[in-house]
Amino acid sequence: MDPIVTEASVSTPVNFYSLTLEDLKSLLKKFGKEQFRAQQIYKWVYESRITDPEQMTNLSKIFRADLPKILSFELPKVLQHLKSVDGTQKFLFDVGEGKSVEAVLIPSDDRLTLCISSEIGCNMACKFCFTGKQKLQRRLRADEIVGQFMQVNDRLEEGQRISNIVFMGMGEPLDNCEAVFKSIAVLHSPWGMNLSRKRITVSTSGLIPEMWRIADAKVRLAVSLNAPNDEIRSEVMPINKKYPLKDLLDECRRYYKETKDRITFEYVLLKGITDQVEHARMVYKLTKDIPCKINIIPFNEHPGSGYERPSDEQVGIFQKELMDLGAHVLLRRTMGRDIFAACGQLRSAFENHPGQMDISNSKLTRTIKGGKNVTDPSRREPSLR
């Protein structure tokens, strides 16, 4: 008897990584297949990393023959895999039409954090951000977001596990809600990668109308604060003109009220612009009634930014002032400086000079396309942007 797949024979297979278990059940139903098969496929793919239907031995022969017409298991191809001397690893993924996005794997004392991208370029145009200079070209699909995770996961050393995900790579996640929250549902699923919601952080520049979704998804909120008042914030982050600080902080209070989860404020220190003692006092005043930690991030210099990194001494003064006032402060060291540390830099270098990136001055331990790599856990707090 011929396989039953008539619809699938004429339609393009759906990318498996874009589907929650429920989505997959509905899809299989549409093709006249038993829904319990969805769990079996989920298990093969996420637990055993088997994507060849022929190896899914508990599926019937007919089902195995039909599967490639219903589902594709394609992942974004790894174009570059760079490893820093400090243990940070950067990945560049091919997302079609000559475009690429980055993900960064950051080891620290007790975690292995993956910073992933949600868009190609970004329309928020934050002045200090390298990606912000690359206008939005396309929002990623859920399978392209999950795909970044799976590709990195497949290259981990024996016994390693990605413990945390942060949406702090290229793009504003709340500008691509559908795909971002779908990917979170897939990765969180106990039948998927079973990542705890509390270990998933969505970072926003302050798209207030969409911020409720972060509480709704029960994941952690990080806010790119980056300035002590509206005047400076509107200058460095144009989104502040539309959604000013007072409204943003009110939304943060709402998030805390709903979730009881502490918020992370990211604060990039720009020399002479956001790094003064009075700025530290203003930041404290803004955030003191919100349970939070403040990550201070000395600016990661990149060509043409027009901003400078403050001296270590000034960073220390700023940090001390906040701590003396009673704030919970973490200083992020810049990691992966030898592998295009600023978010979007690797992509830019690659797309401008594919196949001939100048990495001769870096301390790269190796450049790999595809294969396994080693990790060398570092003990520092990362800086992602």
Q: Could you list the active site residues?
A: 102, 343
Residue 144 tokens, joined: 């392209």
Question: How many H helices and E strands in the chain?
Answer: 13, 14
Kindly tell me which of 33 and 332 has the beta carbon lying closer to ligand SF4.
332
Shortest reach from residue 121's CB to ligand SF4, in Å: 8
CA 333 to chain centroid: 18
Kindly tell me which of 87 and 171 has the beta carbon lying closer to ligand SF4.
171
Kindly tell me which of 161 and 241 has the beta carbon lying closer to ligand SF4.
241
Shortest reach from residue 114's CB to ligand SF4, in Å: 16
* Nearest residue to ligand SF4, by Cβ distance, number only: 132
Shortest reach from residue 348's CB to ligand SF4, in Å: 13
Kindly tell me which of 259 and 300 has the beta carbon lying closer to ligand SF4.
300
In this structure, the chain runs to a length of: 385
- The site for ligand SF4 (CB under 6 A) is made up of 122, 124-126, 129, 131-132, 170-172, 205, 224, 385
CA distances, 210 to each of 98, 230, 287 (Å): 30, 20, 21
Q: What is the CA radius of gyration of the chain?
A: 22
Kindly tell me which of 172 and 321 has the beta carbon lying closer to ligand SF4.
172
Shortest reach from residue 283's CB to ligand SF4, in Å: 18
Return the H-helix or E-strand segment holding 177: helix 177-188
Distance CA 343, CA 385 (A): 5
Kindly tell me which of 50 and 232 has the beta carbon lying closer to ligand SF4.
232
- Asked whether 351 and 139 are in contact (CB, 8 A), the reply is no
Shortest reach from residue 120's CB to ligand SF4, in Å: 11
Cα–Cα–Cα angle for 344, 155, 74, nearest 5°? 75
Distance CA 298, CA 301 (A): 9
Return the H-helix or E-strand segment holding 268: strand 263-269
The residue whose two tokens read 């955030």 is: 287
Shortest reach from residue 367's CB to ligand SF4, in Å: 25
- H helical segments located in the chain: 7-10, 21-30, 37-42, 61-70, 142-153, 177-188, 212-216, 230-236, 239-242, 245-259, 277-287, 312-325, 345-352
